[in-house]
DNA sequence: TCTATTTATTAATCTTGATTCATTTTTTGG
DNA sequence: CCAAAAAATGAATCAAGATTAATAAATAGA
């Protein structure tokens, strides 16, 4: 649903009907099946994705050949691999649907054109980027101030609903430890 | 020097002389002595800081009563404690000068007013925020894909000049390990 | 220039969470 | 509804980096 995006934008800036039309004319809606990929290694990331329904994950394969998840995106969050998007260099990340999802995508190029036509959108994305940065910094704070076990309990208490939506091993990966260690702390809790 | 800031902004967007004057009328230049604070716990962070000369650090005191540095800012970087800035809640961070520094500061409120008068600035800050987010994500990638020792060697090879500017124990803190461990790996290298 | 304070080093011991490998439980697709 | 795959658990051993404590070196300020 295209509405989801413009409704979200309207929480931050005013949009005229003509703006809404302009936006809707350059984005596209994708139904993404669980486990389907929006980005794979050796591709250049050229799009940004807004999740209108479902859940995406961003991950890469580390030296030990394990998946390392660096981000999730659920409803009303943007996801992209900015390292590649900004540099036009090949990415070593995957973007994959964790659930059957509905995603609104826009190419970097179209977005640049859109900024020319609807300059107020710069403001929306400034705010979105600032929030993303703040969240990312908060995450670094947690990494450096809590043990893995504390971080697991903290995350669980902050997002009890979210942890029901994803397999445990994905949460373990996101939090930076092994599924075995996760089982150990969960067993302790009882 | 006010010039440093507007010169930097002009790398991303066009500024008319009137824009430059408007900007310069709402920012202020501060000479900050080494070890002086721009923010301390129990204050609300209400300003953003652009480093025109010198170096700032952002840190908090963790549960073990050690300083945990989460960011440095050198020439041409912005620093603020966005968690507090966005929410107007009390911060538990310090922003402190690591060297005698020159900082251009602008209050959040003045910046909001400035956005009304010079809307193209939204674009500048959107780009700055996006880069900051990208760097922050890259850092999370490194945290989760390298050992502490690897991260130290990687950081040293990327920023050989920077590590000369700061005490070792600050780099150890930023990288998330103890000064003792740092000494150990440095001793190994010989 | 001397003394304080700050910063860096070394070594022994300890802890958290990784690794390995086997087993069990749950989920999925045909 | 069943087989195969995916996900979760459990236990034994191991390793990276923390902790503690003492000392040494470098820096700054008076």
At B130-173, the pLDDT tens digits run: 999 999 999 999 999 999 999 999 999 999 999 999 999 999 99
The pLDDT of residue B97: 94
Question: A72 with A98: CB under 8 angstroms?
Answer: yes
Angstrom distance (rounded) from CA A72 to CA A96: 10
pLDDT value, residue A189 = 55
**What pTM was computed for the model?**
0.94
Q: Is the pLDDT of residue B121 over 60?
A: yes
Question: Is nucleic acid strand C under 7 Å from B41's C-beta?
Answer: no
Average pLDDT, chain B: 94
Judged by CB atoms closer than 8 Å, whether chains meet at A119 and B119 is answered as: yes
What is the predicted pLDDT for the residue at A150? 94
Distant-in-sequence, close-in-space partners of A31: CB < 8 Å, separation ≥ 6: A100, A101, A102
- Distance from the B63 Cα atom to the nearest Cα atom in chain A, whole angstroms: 7
Please report which confidence band the pLDDT of residue B189 belongs to, taking 50, 70 and 90 as the band edges. low
Task: Give the residue on A whose Cα is nearest the Cα of B65.
Answer: A145
Tens-place pLDDT, residues B30-80: 999 999 999 999 999 999 999 999 999 999 998 888 899 999 999 999 999
CA atoms B147, B150, B155, B161: torsion sign: positive
Please tell me what DSSP assigns to residue A65. Answer: S
Does B62 contact chain A (CB < 8 Å)? yes
CA-atom Rg of chain A in angstroms? 18
A183: nt with nearest C1' to CA: D9
Determine what percent of chain A falls in helix, strand and coil, rounding each to the nearest 5: 50, 25, 25
Q: Do A143 and B140 touch (CB under 8 A)?
A: yes
How far in angstroms lies nucleotide C12's C1' from the CA of residue B68?
26
pLDDT of the residue at B137: 95
Residue–nucleotide distance: A169 CA to D1 C1' (Å): 28
B179 CB below 7 A from strand C atoms: yes
- B92 in contact with A, Cβ within 8 Å: no
Residues of A in contact with B68 (CB under 8 A): 141, 144-145
Would you write out chain A's pLDDT as a tens digit for each of its 190 residues?
Answer: 778 899 999 999 999 999 999 999 999 999 999 999 999 999 999 999 999 999 999 999 988 888 999 999 999 999 999 999 999 999 999 999 999 999 999 999 999 999 999 999 999 999 999 999 999 999 999 999 999 999 999 999 999 999 999 999 999 999 999 999 999 999 875 4
A136 touches chain B (CB under 8 A): yes
Q: Rounded to a whole number, what is the distance in Å from the CA of A139 to chain B's nearest CA?
A: 9
A to B CB pairs, distance under 8 Å = 98
A173 CA vs C30 C1’ separation (Å): 31
Give CA–CA dist A51/A66, Å, rounded. 26
Check CB contact under 8 Å for B123 and A120: no
Lookup: tokens for B123: 């674009």
Return the number of other C-beta atoms located less than 10 Å from residue B48's C-beta. Answer: 21
DSSP letters, A74-97, are ETT-EE--HHHHHHTPBP-EEEEE
Q: Is A104 helix (H, G, I), strand (E, B) or coil?
A: strand
């Amino acid at each position: 649903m295209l509405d989801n995006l413009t409704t979200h934008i309207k929480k931050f800036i005013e949009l005229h009907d003509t703006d809404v039309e302009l936006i809707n004319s350059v984005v596209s809606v994708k139904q993404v099946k669980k486990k389907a990929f929006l980005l794979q290694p050796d591709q250049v990331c050229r799009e940004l994705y807004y999740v209108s329904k479902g859940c995406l994950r961003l991950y890469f394969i580390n030296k030990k050949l394990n998946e390392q998840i660096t981000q999730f995106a659920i409803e009303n969050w943007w996801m992209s691999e900015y390292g590649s998007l900004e540099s036009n260099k090949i990415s070593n990340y995957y973007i994959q649907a964790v659930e059957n999802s509905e995603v609104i995508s826009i190419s970097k190029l179209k977005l640049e054109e859109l900024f020319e036509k609807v300059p107020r959108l710069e403001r929306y994305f400034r705010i979105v980027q600032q929030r993303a940065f703040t969240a990312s910094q908060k995450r670094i704070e947690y990494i450096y101030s809590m043990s893995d076990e504390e971080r697991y309990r903290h995350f669980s208490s902050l997002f009890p609903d979210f942890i029901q939506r994803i397999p445990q091993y994905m949460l373990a990966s996101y939090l930076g430890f092994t599924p075995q260690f996760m089982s150990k702390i969960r067993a302790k809790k009882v």
